Amino acid sequence: MNFIKRIFSPFCLTISVLLIIYTYYKSEIYWNGLNNEYYLFYYIFFFFFFFFSFISFFINQKIKEYLIILFSSVVLAVFLFEGYLTFNTKTKSYKLKKTIT
């Protein structure tokens, strides 16, 4: 867990910077600035994430440990839910095709 605590803050900072760059690319270069209001939410969220990752360098190690557990749990829950939705959609699609034919 000590290794994970050491790399958590730089990892979050790197990911947040990459997400801000990607959002800028999609908003300003790919769409030529035509969808700025659509990407406003992403800018706000990713700048908040950037601010959080910068602050994570200065927080207590115990709090950082709790944040790692929370972050891991949320990511795992999102992936499991996405897997459930994918499987459920494919099952309904298969049943619908079977009913039609």
Question: How do residues 24-83 score in pLDDT, each as one tens digit?
Answer: 999 999 999 888 889 999 999 999 999 999 999 999 999 999 999 998 999 999 999 999
pLDDT at 95: 62
pTM over 0.85: no
Residues 77 and 79: their CA atoms lie apart, in Å, by 6
pLDDT at res. 86:
87
- Is the CB of residue 5 less than 8 Å from the CB of residue 64? yes
